[in-house]
Amino acid sequence: PTTGALLSVSAKAEATLTAEDFRKIGLLYDGEIRYTDETLRSFFARLRETGFLDNALVIVTSDHGEELGDHGGVLHGGLLYEELLKVPLILHGRGVRSGVDRRMVSTIDIAPTILDYVGIPAPETWQGRSLLATDDGALDSDAVFAQFGPRRYAIRTQDWKLITTTATGD
Amino acid symbol at 150? P
Q: CA of 13: how far to CAs of 16, 18, 67, in Å?
A: 5, 11, 15
CA distance 81 to 108: 19
CA distance 65 to 71: 14
Kindly tell me if the per-residue pLDDT of 42 is higher than 90: yes
The pLDDT, as a whole number, for residue 117 is 94
The pLDDT, as a whole number, for residue 122 is 93
The pLDDT, as a whole number, for residue 86 is 81
Tell me the CA end-to-end span of the chain in Å, nearest whole number: 38
The pLDDT, as a whole number, for residue 100 is 83
The pLDDT, as a whole number, for residue 144 is 84
Which residues lie below 8 Å from residue 106, measured CB to CB, with a gap of 6+?
Answer: 128, 141, 144, 145
CA distance 148 to 2: 25
Kindly tell me if the per-residue pLDDT of 108 is higher than 70: yes
**9 or 156, greater pLDDT:** 156
pLDDT digits (tens, 9 = 90+) for 46-105: 999 999 988 889 999 987 777 777 776 666 666 788 887 888 888 988 888 888 877 788
Q: Are 22 and 69 in contact (CB under 8 A)?
A: yes
